[in-house]
C-alpha cells in the first residue's frame, strides 16, 4: 500500500488445516507465500495458480456446494445468538454510527449498497433495522438467493462497472476488498455511487493482530490477496481518494481479527 520493500513472511507447502480446498489446475502445486511490507506492515499473497475465476464459480461451489447449501448456511449463521454472531454486532455498530451522524427524523428510508454480500445475512439484518438494501455479487446464485430469501434487491454485477443504481447513503465492503487484486481501484470506483454526505464502511482482516497466533490463522487463508495492518488500512482509503472518518480494531465473536471503519468522499 505504501510502495515499500516486501519480504517473504509466511510460506505454505500445503493448505492450512481449516482452509477451504479449492480445485487447482491439473498438475498445479500448492506453494503459497505471504510477503509483508517492511514499512507499512501490509501483506500481499503470492500464489502461482490462476485465481481469476475463483469468485465467479469455484468459491460458491467449494464453500456451499449448491442452492440448498447456500440456504442452510444462511439459516445457520442467521440463527446464532448475539454473543456468537459477528453480523449482529456489525449491524449494531454500523447502524448506530450512521444514525448518530444523520437526522433520524428524515422521512426517507436510508439506502444501503452491500458489495460482495455473500450469504446476505448482513443486509437481511440491516433491512430489519430500517434500511432499503441492494446487494452486489459476482455470482448469480448468490444474488438470486438475496432476492428470493433475503428479500432485497440483488444484482449480479461488478461495482467498478455497474450503472443505473444509486445514490446510496451507505456502501459497505464486509471482508471483500482483501480478495481483490487491486482494492484501491475497486474502493475508488464505489465513491461515484455515494449520496451527498454518504459513508463507506470497510471491514478487513487484521493481519497485524493475527500474527501473534501464527500463520495458520484464517486471516492468511488462500484468496486473501491482501491482509491489512492499521497503517495499510488508512493508506488504502487515502489512495482511493477518500477521507478516513473512523477506524478501529477488534476481535469478533467468531474469533476473527478485524479492522473496521468509515470513510467519505473528500470535500472539494
Query: Which of these, 223, 186, 179, 182, lies nearest to 204 by C-alpha position?
Result: 179
- Separation between Cα atoms, residue 177 and residue 190, nearest integer Å: 12
Place of cell 482511493: 240
Whether 106 shows a pLDDT value over 80: the answer reads: no
Q: Read off the pLDDT of residues 19-54 as tens digits, 9 standing for 90 and up.
A: 988 777 667 788 999 999 999 999 999 987 766 655
Per-residue pLDDT at 267: 74
Whether 230 shows a pLDDT value over 60: the answer reads: yes
Phi/psi-derived region of residue 59, left when phi > 0, alpha when psi is between -120 and 50, beta in every other case:
alpha
Phi/psi-derived region of residue 120, left when phi > 0, alpha when psi is between -120 and 50, beta in every other case:
left
pLDDT confidence bin for 12, thresholds 50/70/90:
very high
Q: What is the mean pLDDT of the chain?
A: 91
Query: Which of these, 94, 257, 74, lies nearest to 171 by C-alpha position?
Result: 94
Whether 104 shows a pLDDT value over 80: the answer reads: no
Per-residue pLDDT at 62: 46
Per-residue pLDDT at 57: 52
Cβ(233)–Cβ(250) below 8 Å: no
Query: Which of 9-18, 165-174, 245-254, 259-268 is predicted with the least confidence, judged by mean pLDDT?
Result: 259-268
Domain at 52-265, CATH from 3.40.50.150, 2.170.130.30, 3.30.70.330, 3.40.50.1000: 3.40.50.150
pLDDT confidence bin for 137, thresholds 50/70/90:
very high
User: Quick one: 63 exposed, middle or buried, by C-beta within 10 A (0-12, 13-18, 19+)?
Assistant: middle
Q: Give the residue extent of every domain in the chain.
A: 52-265
Q: What pTM does this model have?
A: 0.92
Cis peptide before 167 (omega within 30 of 0): yes
Whether 188 shows a pLDDT value over 90: the answer reads: yes
Whether 56 shows a pLDDT value over 60: the answer reads: no
- Mean of pLDDT values over 158-171: 96
Q: What Rg value do the Cα atoms of the chain yield, rounded? A: 18
Amino acid at each position: 500500500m505504501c510502495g515499500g520493500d516486501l519480504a517473504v513472511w509466511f510460506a505454505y507447502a500445503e493448505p492450512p488445516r481449516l482452509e477451504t480446498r479449492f480445485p487447482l489446475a491439473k498438475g498445479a502445486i500448492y506453494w503459497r507465500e505471504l510477503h509483508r511490507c517492511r514499512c507499512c506492515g501490509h501483506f500481499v499473497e503470492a500464489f502461482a495458480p490462476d485465481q481469476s475465476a475463483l469468485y465467479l464459480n469455484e468459491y460458491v461451489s467449494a464453500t456451499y456446494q449448491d442452492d440448498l447449501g447456500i440456504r442452510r448456511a444462511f439459516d445457520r449463521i442467521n440463527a446464532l445468538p448475539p454473543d456468537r454472531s459477528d453480523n449482529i454486532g456489525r449491524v449494531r455498530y454500523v447502524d448506530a454510527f450512521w444514525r448518530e451522524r444523520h437526522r433520524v427524523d428524515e422521512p426517507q428510508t436510508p439506502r444501503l449498497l452491500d458489495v460482495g454480500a455473500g450469504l446476505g445475512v448482513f443486509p437481511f439484518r440491516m433491512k430489519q433495522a430500517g434500511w432499503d438494501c441492494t446487494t452486489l455479487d459476482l455470482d448469480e446464485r448468490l444474488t438470486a438467493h438475496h432476492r428470493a430469501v433475503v428479500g432485497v434487491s440483488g444484482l449480479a454485477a461488478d461495482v467498478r462497472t455497474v450503472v443505473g443504481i444509486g445514490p446510496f447513503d451507505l456502501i459497505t465492503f464486509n471482508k471483500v476488498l482483501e480478495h481483490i487484486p487491486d482494492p484501491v481501484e475497486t474502493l475508488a470506483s464505489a465513491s461515484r455511487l455515494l449520496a451527498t454526505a454518504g459513508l463507506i464502511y470497510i471491514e478487513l482482516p487484521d493481519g497485524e493482530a493475527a500474527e501473534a497466533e501464527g500463520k495458520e490463522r484464517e486471516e492468511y487463508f488462500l484468496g486473501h490477496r491482501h491482509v491489512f495492518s492499521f497503517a495499510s488500512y488508512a493508506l488504502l482509503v487515502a489512495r482511493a481518494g477518500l477521507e478516513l472518518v473512523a477506524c478501529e480494531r477488534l476481535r469478533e465473536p467468531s474469533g476473527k481479527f478485524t479492522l473496521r471503519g468509515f470513510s467519505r468522499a473528500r470535500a472539494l
